[in-house]
Amino acid sequence: MRPNAPESRDVSADGGRLFKTLLALWPYIWPAERDDLKGRVMLALVLLLGAKLATVLMPFTFKWATDALTAAGTTGVDATTLAWIASAPIALTIAYGGSRILMAVLTQLRDGLFAKVAMHAVRRLAILTFEHMHRLSLRFHLERKTGGLTRVLERGRNGIEIIVRMVLLQLVPTVVEFALIVGVLLWVFDWRYVATIVATVALYMWYTYIATEWRIGIRRKMNDSDNDANTKAIDSLLNYETVKYFDAEAREARRYDRSMARYEEASVKAYTSLAVLNAGQAIIFTIGLTVVMAMCAIGVQGGTHTIGDFVMINAMMIQLYQPLNFMGMVYREIKQAVIDIEQMFRILKRETEVADAPGARPLAVKAGAIRFEDVRFAYEPSRPILEGLSFEVPAGKTVAIVGPSGAGKSTISRLLYRFYDVTGGRITIDGQDVRAVTQGSLRSAIGMVPQDTVLFNDTIRYNIRYGRWEATDAEVEEAARLAQIDGFIRMAPKGYETEVGERGLKLSGGEKQRVAIARTILKGPPILLLDEATSALDSHTEKEIQDALQQVSKNRTTLVIAHRLSTIVGADEIIVLDKGRIVERGTHAALLEAGGLYASMWNRQREADEAREKLAQVDEPAAAPNRDPPGTAPLAAGAGAAAGTAVAEEADTTTGPPEDRAEPVA
């Protein structure tokens, strides 16, 4: 975890224990750096006390009005007071209504005043979690499912809001009101009433605790099944085209329905258990209410209490029932919210696998030379990926990495970007270990064009500008022109404001690739990392893009992860990987002459290109005007088809090595 983000260490649900969760949330309710919010909290507490005093006053006005209207109450009341009460029943009724209005107004003022405090706490914790998710390693995100992760964030955010609002808007007011009522009952009645009510409340809270603890397991199962259903829905919708390709709509629906069936079962249990809880609470409180009213009725019969006392004890108990019922609800909601946010807290406590070292400085790029020195790496200890890898990309030069699938090519780009840290050796840029510099400065110095481009669900302009956010519209459009996509964009009805859809699905593979290239051109970094940047382009467009990339890579250190060898014949050095080790290295010509793994890969690709060329000629209509324009090839042939065919034609008529006549394109 980054040293400048210590607060994410302090948040913990601690296995769902309520008290520690509330302690963890307190710094967000009472933010030390925001005096204005602390002032709101204090004023809200004052309004809370005022509202509860008005609440306790209401039963008294009710009692006095009742005694006045029944002309009762001679016992325990002097003649002067009785005369005043008897003469003002309307005034007392108005006072009763006024006290209710005062209570409601003060309560709503308190809620409105505290809203900013509550939502600020929600916002702080939500952004803290969001930022921390971005700080976590690529390994974490590859192991998680997007739908489940977003649900964790959503439910956690809602859970925080529930806890923050419930504690100060429900729990504290209920405790204050209960204390005031106990004091009033002790003053107006006697200790027997207080003992009865305390016993009722204690039994009520004990039952609430037991039932809520029982319901927690049910709620957790419901959350798990909800996560599973949501994840399956998002996964299926993101793969909409794949579902259609394999006519799998029914299978996907059954898969989703199985998850929803588990959610249905868990939800039914949750609602049933809630009904049991509410019924038990109502029974316990009603018994307590009946006991104290019976005691007061006996007092009225004995002349020690008035009809107004009987009415007052009923009103006071009913008033107590509402917050006490909220108390049960508050406890349930807080406990359930803790379950909802415990996954968020677990994420916040998770240490980042890749973090800036203490005192890390920004990367100072002078020339841009890259060195891998005896680099070792494994995603899992039992399966090493790179074993003692050592090579250099000199400043301003182009080095290509090739090899069979699984050789570790893509791992090299991930290590250079510090998505992972090496397990042995080191990687340096201009002599600076990438682990000793800040991640932000490292990634700012590298421009990446991936093989699989994923775009934001926004406009084309937004996606290109992502490379350098402060760029002007003219710079964005110039980058698009260099990437050979400006013409396509201007043909669209909305131009650069065209929406690309989820993950860029409204664009073809080649169009997405060119947007990624334009984004990197706009960024203008001193180091380029190209992961088969033209793999999705036809041969004609590939040549144009390669020319553009050649211009961009001039005087820049360029590392190319190559799958199609025709795109890297002009590289200053080609490194051949196999099973995490360098087995060959040299120029294109030297490697072909060596007749090793690289030559074997080259010959296989050339044979495949020749086969596609012959197949295309057989399928081609006899009419010459229908032929493809010179220099183009079908998209299925891949971006290297033309180059491979040209080499093959010369190979048929000469005995020299084909690399001597291949035109460098990268």
What was the pLDDT predicted at 622?
45
Distance CA 312, CA 300 (A): 12
Q: Is the pLDDT of residue 129 over 80?
A: no
What was the pLDDT predicted at 539?
64
Which residue in the block uniquely carries the two structure tokens 């349930």?
Answer: 332
Contact 225, 263 (CB under 8 A): yes
Which residue in the block uniquely carries the two structure tokens 């690739």?
Answer: 513
3-state SS assignment for residue 366: coil
Nearest Cα to 396, choosing from 660, 575, 598, 573? 573
Distance CA 322, CA 473 (A): 60
Please report the DSSP string for 261-294 in residue order. HHHHHHHHHHHHHHHHHHHHHHHHHHHHHHHHHH
Cα atoms found within 13 Å of the Cα of residue 497, Cβ hemisphere only: 2
Contact 236, 252 (CB under 8 A): yes
The most confident of 135-144, 323-332, 549-558, 651-660, by mean pLDDT? 549-558
Distance CA 450, CA 419 (A): 14
In single-letter form, the type of residue at position 42 comes to M
The most confident of 494-498, 563-567, 609-613, by mean pLDDT? 494-498
Distance CA 492, CA 480 (A): 14
Contact 592, 658 (CB under 8 A): yes
Please report the DSSP string for 412-471 in residue order. HHHHHTTSS--SEEEEEETTEEGGGB-HHHHHHTEEEE-SS----SSBHHHHHHTTSTT-
In single-letter form, the type of residue at position 581 comes to R
What was the pLDDT predicted at 542?
67
pLDDT digits (tens, 9 = 90+) for 547-585: 767 767 777 899 988 877 877 888 889 999 888 888 999
Which structural domains are found in the chain, ordered by start? 7-349 (1.20.1560.10), 359-444+561-666 (3.40.50.300)
User: Percent helix, strand and coil across the chain, each rounded to 5?
Assistant: 65, 10, 25
Local confidence band at 88 (pLDDT 50, 70, 90 cut-offs): low
Phi, psi of 162 (to 5 degrees): -60, -50
3-state SS assignment for residue 410: helix
Q: Is the pLDDT of residue 64 over 60?
A: yes
The H-or-E segment that residue 314 falls in is helix 307-349
Kindly report the average pLDDT of the chain as a whole number: 76
Contacting residues for 352 by C-beta, under 8 A, at least 6 apart: 1, 2, 132, 135, 136, 137
657: alpha, beta or left, given left = phi > 0 and alpha = psi -120 to 50? beta
Output 283 or 612, whichever has higher pLDDT: 283
How much is the average pLDDT of 63-73?
66
pLDDT digits (tens, 9 = 90+) for 454-487: 788 888 898 899 888 888 889 998 888 888 788 8
Local confidence band at 640 (pLDDT 50, 70, 90 cut-offs): very low
What was the pLDDT predicted at 642?
35
Contacting residues for 419 by C-beta, under 8 A, at least 6 apart: 137, 138, 354
Question: Vertex 80, ends 76 and 82: CA angle to 5°?
Answer: 55
β-sheet with 581-586: strand ranges across = 446-449, 527-531, 557-561, 398-402, 573-578, 581-586
Q: Is the pLDDT of residue 626 over 50?
A: no
Phi, psi of 588 (to 5 degrees): -55, -45
End-to-end Cα distance, the chain = 40
What was the pLDDT predicted at 102?
80
Q: Check: pTM over 0.95? Answer yes or no.
A: no
pLDDT digits (tens, 9 = 90+) for 159-183: 777 877 777 677 777 778 788 878 8
Q: Is the pLDDT of residue 634 over 70?
A: no
pLDDT digits (tens, 9 = 90+) for 396-423: 888 999 888 778 888 888 899 888 888 8
Output 263 or 320, whichever has higher pLDDT: 263
Nearest Cα to 462, choosing from 488, 498, 487? 498
Strands 370-380, 424-429: parallel, antiparallel or unpaired by DSSP?
antiparallel
3-state SS assignment for residue 530: strand
What was the pLDDT predicted at 8?
38
